[in-house]
Amino acid sequence: MSLLGRTAEIAEAYLASLPERPVGATRSYDDVLAALDAPLPETGEPAEAVLDAIAGLEAGMVGTAGPRYFGFVTGGALPVTVAADWLVSTWDGPHFGRVPSPAGAAVETIAERWLLDVLGLPASARVGFVTGATMANLVGLAAGRHRVLAGAGWDVEERGMTGAPPVKVVVGEEVHVSLLKALRILGFGSAGIVRVPVDAGGAMRPDGLAGVLDGGPAIVCAQAGNVNTGACDPLEPIVAAARGAGAWVHVDGAFGLWAAASPRLRGLVAGAGAAHSWAVDAHKWLNVPYDCGLAIVADREAHAAAMSASADYLTGDDGGLTRTPEMSRRGRQVPVYAALRHLGRSGIAELVERCCAHARRLAAAMEALDGAAVLNDVVLNQVLVRFGDGDAETARVVEAVQRGGEAWLGGTVWHGLGAARVSFSNWSTTDADVDRLVAAVSASLARR
């Protein structure tokens, strides 16, 4: 059997095991390190032996692709996207434009149009396929930085940030850390960021913008999908206020912006299409393999200016080098295209709605369970649960569920309270998987 044939067998066996295998890793970091750590071989080993060693890592992997993983907002990969991603690796080429990859560029054009359509964003916007929301935020904010400083007479790409007019950056109190990281990389110091109040669910209060925007260069960062509660900022009044003050509006919609794909849920992100830029993860609710994020910018000139790159050997560039920070990027658009074509508009909506229904099912079960309390209004796919009478009991239950292997959920701190954070974004999760999580939690509570 060929090496790739053997690899396919290993992959098939692993994927088939996901519905029933322990979700948590059964081998620790130290165990794996002790088994593999050795001096670099002088002459190398046969590929088959190396493959077997890598296949043996399975026990040290958390089953994040499986139906009972509810930790970080991690979508499992649809089988068709795994297959597409494997072909991308097989073709093994850069995808920064039509010259190195004519077919990849064509697929990117189609995927871009479909994405803008399903997300309800301007058809004229540009999409860059990046690693995830951190880089997507960076691209959108870089475009915003270009535009607001150009409006103040400053060419930031040529002159840098030293001596530039100050840019006011406005965020909600519960802004995601990935956006703050992107701002730091772009030269916006943490001390200069203005935080406005949020409501009980963590959504920005639009009245907090009053008096903050004074007409100078400014970027307002809104959020679709609070990482703990799923709450979405009220985008219509936020965008209106920001645009009225001449500010750029960027929406961090890593998972929450996918609500726009659902007729039932799109009201949660009403007004998103009037922003200037957006960050979205495809490896969350679209269920393509890691790593794949979407940097979307309505202002094509600002996007190109912020991401531009040129060299004498880069002839015939068609704009592919003006979409993302990377030049040597893989064909992430191919699995995205595969997912969109496989699911269609109705399938994407059904996937999003089903995950939200799972969240409501869990919340109802937790409220009926002695010793458990739901802390948030469940508006999307996120559920916050507190166990027993304090942080210690909550942490104990979370650890017990993880250790038991029946399911995996994560811990967090919400308004000073320890909590379990449960996320639903996997295409393969069923009601029965939710019920198994409830049973695992109930059993852990009973052992207190």
Owning domain of residue 230: 83-340
Convert the pLDDT of each residue in 257-309 to its tens digit. 999 999 999 999 999 999 999 999 999 999 999 999 999 999 999 999 999 97
Asked if 415 contacts 422 with a C-beta cutoff of 8 angstroms, the reply is no
On the CB side of 71, CA atoms within 13 Å amount to 18
Question: 168 in helix, strand or coil?
Answer: strand
- pLDDT class for 121, splitting at 50, 70, 90? very high
Convert the pLDDT of each residue in 213-259 to its tens digit. 988 999 999 999 999 999 999 999 999 999 999 999 999 999 999 99
In a domain, 52, yes or no: no
| Amino acid identity at 218 | A
Output the pLDDT for position 411. 95
Mean pLDDT of 20-42: 96
- pLDDT class for 418, splitting at 50, 70, 90? very high
In a domain, 255, yes or no: yes
In a domain, 368, yes or no: no
- The pair of structure tokens assigned to 19 is 């519905």
| 326: pLDDT strictly greater than 80 | yes
What value does the CA radius of gyration of the chain take, rounded to a whole number of Å? 23
User: Terminal CA-to-CA distance of the chain, rounded, Å?
Assistant: 52
Output the pLDDT for position 195. 97
Q: Which residues contact 224 (CB under 8 A, 6 or more apart)?
A: 232, 233, 235, 251, 252, 253, 256, 257, 259, 268, 269, 272
Q: Of 303, 327, 287, which Cα lies nearest the Cα of 428?
A: 287
Output the pLDDT for position 320. 79
Output the pLDDT for position 32. 97
In a domain, 194, yes or no: yes
More confident residue, 358 or 96: 358
- Measured CA to CA, the distance from residue 153 to residue 44 in angstroms comes to 58
Mean pLDDT of 33-55: 96
Output the pLDDT for position 54. 96
| Amino acid identity at 387 | F
Long-range own/partner contacts, residues 341-345 (CB < 8 A, 24 or more apart): 342/78, 342/80, 342/81, 343/78, 345/117, 345/118, 345/261
pTM for the predicted model, two decimal places: 0.96
Output the pLDDT for position 134. 97
- The phi-psi region of residue 37 (left if phi > 0; otherwise alpha if psi is between -120 and 50; otherwise beta) is beta
In a domain, 67, yes or no: no
- Measured CA to CA, the distance from residue 208 to residue 180 in angstroms comes to 19
Can you list the alpha helix ranges (DSSP code H) found in 160-232?
177-185
Using the Cα atoms of residue 437, residue 259, residue 257 and residue 65 in order, give the sign of their dihedral.
positive
Output the pLDDT for position 189. 87
- Measured CA to CA, the distance from residue 259 to residue 306 in angstroms comes to 29
Output the pLDDT for position 309. 78
Output the pLDDT for position 314. 66
Output the pLDDT for position 363. 98
The mean pLDDT of the chain is: 95
Percentage of residues of the chain with pLDDT beyond 90: 93
Largest CA distance in the chain: 69
Convert the pLDDT of each residue in 53-77 to its tens digit. 999 999 999 999 999 999 999 999 9
User: Which of 27-31, 75-79, 99-103 is least confident?
Assistant: 99-103
Question: 285 in helix, strand or coil?
Answer: coil
- pLDDT class for 311, splitting at 50, 70, 90? low
Q: How many domains are contained in the chain?
A: 1
- The pair of structure tokens assigned to 377 is 């209004």
Q: Which residues contact 142 (CB under 8 A, 6 or more apart)?
A: 186, 306, 307
Enter the DSSP assignment of 158. H
In a domain, 349, yes or no: no
β-bridge mates for residue 128, sequence order: 295
- Give a three-class secondary structure readout of 244-264: HCCCEEEEECCCHHHHHHCCC
Q: Which residues contact 152 (CB under 8 A, 6 or more apart)?
A: 165, 216, 217
CATH of the domain at 217: 3.40.640.10
In a domain, 115, yes or no: yes
Convert the pLDDT of each residue in 419-429 to its tens digit. 999 999 999 99
Asked if 245 contacts 105 with a C-beta cutoff of 8 angstroms, the reply is no
| Amino acid identity at 216 | G
| 191: pLDDT strictly greater than 90 | no
Q: Of 206, 207, 211, which Cα lies nearest the Cα of 222?
A: 206
Percentage of residues of the chain with pLDDT beyond 70: 98
| 318: pLDDT strictly greater than 80 | no
In a domain, 363, yes or no: no
Q: Which residues contact 105 (CB under 8 A, 6 or more apart)?
A: 95, 97, 98, 318, 320
DSSP assignments along 293-326, one per residue: EEEEES-HHHHHHHH----TT-TT--SGGGS-S-
